[in-house]
Structure formats: structure tokens, C-alpha cells
Amino acid sequence: MTSVPRTAVIVGAGIVGAACADALATSGVAVRVVERERPGTAGATAAGMGHILVLDDSPAQIALTKLGRELWDARADRWPTRVERHVCGTLWVAADDEELAGARQRAEVYERWGVASRVVDADELRLLEPNLRGGLAGGLLVPGDSVVYPPNAARVLLDAAVSAGAAVVERAPVTAVGDGWAELADGTRLEADVVVVAAGIATPRLVPGSGLSIVPKKGHLAITDRYPGFVRHQLVELGYLKSAHGAVRQSVAFNIQPRPNGQMLLGSSRQLDDDDPRVDRCILAAMVARGIDYLPRLAALSVLRTWVGFRPATPDNLPVVGPLADRPGLWVATGHEGVGITTSLATARLVADRLCGREPPIDPGPYDTSRLREASTHA
């Protein structure tokens, strides 16, 4: 498919499918979205945290998260209150001098990329977040990061797509996809110039033989009752990236998010090779212990609920966005791991620009599907 598509089918209405629907529909493409459940109520989007952040573990990751954050900001006036968008900034917490040195390096990286950030010392850290334990070395403040409520953000994006002419089919599992077609469980066959599979962790099953490797990375969250002002920024330990992208089978890291209503979401945990949707009490306990270690007074605050979600993870921690080999009418957009809320809008932008023949704002190469072919020829 070389010309601009007139029609598109999007499989999955998580945040990525919803964002793609919006970007394509507003580009004039006739979009149909097919979702197994209901938009934004299933998958990682219904279970995740909604921290919009610039993450610096690789140049390609920075480029995509930065573009993602810019696009969230660009719609600032258009997010209704139910998206609960709140620019609280991220405060990366350094436990010791080694981590503080790491914070300084990150500040330099952010500066090169034009992302505002500032190293804070131990005293300022205490002022910014009085409930953090004593003896911490300092931190890195990234004031432009924000938080949102992902399930409603996905709906709002989908509503925007519908206003631009898109149609949504709910509670309709797609059973098979191919070059320019998708088949539903009830036998309906949908044809379109392009099919974009944004089905999160379910994507590989729909495109067997494509070389796409996505594994679910299980994560736990706990939500507290309302304690306005207990923390003011999204607080993340600087060791987080090690935990997030290390090769270990399970890890926890301190990560807490203030919601606009005073509730707090406590994360985070990562487990590979575990697709059990039940709460794992041991890893939950380890995660909670980590939280209390950083915020001792958290111990006495009430928890209302805990749950798990599965991040769609790729071997190189970058999403996979583009057409599958020899099937120009079959695209995938998935593999966003723990930053898919942040990068959903950037992904959608790449998809729409590439399909509509526009120059994307960043190089789409690092996220392209071509690396699947390389991986399979090297294997």
C-alpha cells in the first residue's frame, strides 16, 4: 500500500488504539475500531498508573517519551476534567551519593534534549516532600511531567475519533487479521486499506509468524484513601530504571503518584513469566515495604484496593510500530511496556504521519517493525 489509505480498521481500544483512531480519523481516514471489551476498561490501560514522563534509558526512548509528553501538553485545554490531568512533576529520589551522581548525569541528558530538570540537594528534597525519610541524598526534579487517568483518557480520544467520523464496535473480539482485513468472532469480515493491530499483550497471537515478541510484564498497584498533600510530586526512586528494564525475573521499585483527589497510587513491581491475574501477596508486600521504606508515615495510611496489570514488553524496551513484512496493509502498534500512556499519542502520530505521507517529527526507524526481521534472521 503506497497511497494514503482511505479506510482503516484498528484492533483494540486501549490508549494506543484510541490514540491511533483519533490521529487517523482527524487525518481524514475512515476508521473503524474493534474492541473485545469496552474501550479503556480492559488491558493495561485500565490497570496502569498514568504518569506522563520523559524517560531517558535510550535516545529512542527519550525521543518518543518527550514527543508523547509534548502531545499530551498540546491538548491541555481539550482534556476534560474526567481525565484528571495534573502537572505535578516527577521527583526522582536519590538514596545515596552514587544515585545523586546518576541524577546529575541524567540532568545533563535531559538538558541536551531540551527537557527542563533540576538537581535538588537533601535539604531541598525535605522541603519539597517532608514525608520522605531522612538521610536521602537528594533528587532530580522534572517539573513538566504530569499524571492523567488513563481509562477516561482513552475514552476521550475515542470520542474525538468518533466526532471525526470513526465508528466503534464494542465487545467484538477479532479472531484473525491479514493484509487489509480483520475477522470478528461472529464471522464478520472487515476490509480496509490498512489494519492496525493495537491489541497490547494479545497482539502476537493475532499476527503469528511475524517475529513479534511481546511478553506480559506483571505489575501491582495499591490505592490509598484520600490524604491530600501527603506527597506532592510523582516520586520515583532513581534505581527505578534498573528495576524496570533489568533482566531479573522480578523486582520492585518505589514509585508513588498523587491523584488530584488526594488518593495515592503506590507502585511498582515487575514480574516476568507470570500471567496469573491474581495479586501476588509476596511481591505486593515487597512493594509496600519499599514504599514504607521511603515514606515511613505511609505505614499508617489506609489502602482501599490492590490490583495487577500486564505491560506489553519487548526485548529492547521499545514499542513496535509499523507494517509487517510483505503485508503493507497490516500494521502493529504495541509493546509500550511501562510508558504506553505517555507514548500513545507519539505512537499515533508516527502511524498517522507515515500512513498519510507526512514527515514524522521524530525518526520512526528505532520503533519500526524492520527490527523484527533482523531479529529473526539473526536467530
Ligand X SMILES: Cc1cc2nc3c(=O)[nH]c(=O)nc-3n(C[C@H](O)[C@H](O)[C@H](O)COP(=O)(O)OP(=O)(O)OC[C@H]3O[C@@H](n4cnc5c(N)ncnc54)[C@H](O)[C@@H]3O)c2cc1C
Instruction: List residues near other proteins by CB under 8 A.
Output: 38, 40-41, 46, 82, 151-152, 155, 222, 224-225, 266, 274, 279-286, 288-289, 291-292, 298-307
- Using CB under 6 A as the binding criterion, the count of chain residues that bind ligand X stands at 42
Q: Which is nearer to other proteins, 235 or 241 (CB)?
A: 235
Q: At what angle do helices 15-25 and 340-355 cross, to 10 degrees?
A: 30
CB of 263 to ligand X, least distance (A): 15
Residue carrying C-alpha cell 469496552: 38
* DSSP result, 145-189: -EE--HHHHHHHHHHHHHHTT-EEE-S--EEEEETTEEEETTS-E
Task: Using CB under 6 A, pick the residue from 204, 312, 323, 329 that binds ligand X.
Answer: 312
By CB under 6 A, tell whether 89 contacts ligand X: no
Question: Looking at 85-93, 127-135, 335-343, 369-377, which segment touches ligand X (CB under 6 A)?
Answer: 335-343
Burial class (CB in 10 A: 0-12, 13-18, 19+), 244: buried
Rg (CA), the chain: 20
CB of 230 to other proteins, least distance (A): 11
DSSP-derived 3-state class of residue 92: strand
By CB under 6 A, tell whether 15 contacts ligand X: yes
Give the CA-trace dihedral at 47, 49, 50, 56, to 10 degrees: -120
329 binds, among other proteins, ligand X, none (CB under 5 to 8 A by kind): none
By CB under 6 A, tell whether 12 contacts ligand X: yes
221 binds, among other proteins, ligand X, none (CB under 5 to 8 A by kind): ligand X
299 binds, among ligand X, other proteins, none (CB under 5 to 8 A by kind): other proteins
Task: Using CB under 6 A, pick the residue from 27, 45, 224, 317 that binds ligand X.
Answer: 45
Task: Using CB under 6 A, pick the residue from 9, 42, 93, 288 that binds ligand X.
Answer: 42
Question: For residue 270, what is the enclosing H or E element?
Answer: strand 264-271
Measure CA 76 to chain center: 18
DSSP-derived 3-state class of residue 117: coil
Question: Looking at 9-17, 79-87, 155-163, 367-375, which segment touches ligand X (CB under 6 A)?
Answer: 9-17
Q: Supply the DSSP symbol for 241.
A: H
In angstroms, the CA 287 to CA 281 distance is 10
Task: Using CB under 6 A, pick the residue from 5, 89, 340, 364 that binds ligand X.
Answer: 340
Q: 145 and 234 in contact (C-beta within 8 Å)?
A: yes
By CB under 6 A, tell whether 291 contacts ligand X: no
By CB under 6 A, tell whether 334 contacts ligand X: yes
In angstroms, the CA 171 to CA 93 distance is 42
CB of 245 to other proteins, least distance (A): 21
Scan residues 159-218 and list those touching ligand X (CB under 6 A): 173-174, 198-200, 202, 206
CA distances from 224 to 221, 298, 308 (A): 10, 9, 15
Q: Which residues bind ligand X (CB under 6 A)?
A: 11-17, 34-37, 42-45, 47-51, 173-174, 198-200, 202, 206, 219, 221, 267, 309-312, 334, 336-342
